[in-house]
Amino acid sequence: MGETHCGARNPNWKGGRSLASNGYVLIRVGVGHPAADVRGYAYEHRLVAEQVLGRPLLEGEQVHHKDGDKQNNAPANLEVLTQHEHRAEHRKHERGLRVPGGPNPLVQCACGCGSTFPKYDGCNRPRRYVSGHNPSDSPVQRKVLAALDAGVMRVALVAEHAGITVRAVKATLSRLAKLNKVRRVRHGEWVRHG
């Protein structure tokens, strides 16, 4: 039977550092360490932050990487934030969500109906269209219907004739189909109804 090689005697030993599946660096600190998991590893960024603070992190304190690099655990790159502050910091860069308490400017509906509304909804998600509105007649609808007076057309050609985006044309055609003013001939091709 071969001898068991633990720690530094194991040929796969990486100095007690490993990369967690979430992208953060783990450091071997031993099972008895207060920040350790069941295997004896702790997140390096939390250990560095505790060392800089000179105390353990409090419940609810989060360590934020200023440059967004989860492996850059230099003390100058780390800052300790509350959960609320940390969430707000990440919202600035993710999915275009509004930072809680941030401005909520008025914007115009992307369909071209002329309606204005606050850009972010109650969950701070950005909106492009008025919620639940279905104007019966809008300038964009008139342009799309006028373009379709020429007969069967592909969406891109309708957009070109109407002078609006393909996205706006698709949304408008969907609305007009529900109002029974247009119908789809085949995939991507539409005609004015009746």
Question: One digit per residue, pLDDT tens: the chain, 194 residues?
Answer: 556 666 666 666 566 788 888 889 999 888 899 988 998 889 999 999 999 999 999 998 999 998 888 999 999 999 999 887 877 776 665 667 777 677 889 988 876 677 888 888 887 788 888 776 655 667 888 889 999 998 899 999 999 988 888 888 898 898 888 888 899 999 889 999 86
Q: Report if residue 98 sits inside a domain.
A: no
Q: Is 89 left (phi over 0), alpha (psi -120 to 50) or beta?
A: alpha
Contacts of 1 (CB under 8 A, 6+ apart): none
Alpha carbons 186 and 88: distance in angstroms, whole number = 46
Tell me what pLDDT residue 55 has: 93
Query: Do 68 and 110 share a domain, yes or no?
Result: no
Number of structural domains the chain divides into: 3
Half-sphere exposure of 8 (CA within 13 A, CB side): 1
Domain span holding position 73: 11-91
Tell me what pLDDT residue 95 has: 61
Contacts of the segment 121-127: beta carbons below 8 A, 24+ positions apart? 124/91, 124/97, 124/98, 124/99, 124/100, 125/95, 125/97, 125/98, 126/96, 126/97, 126/98
Query: Do 110 and 56 share a domain, yes or no?
Result: no
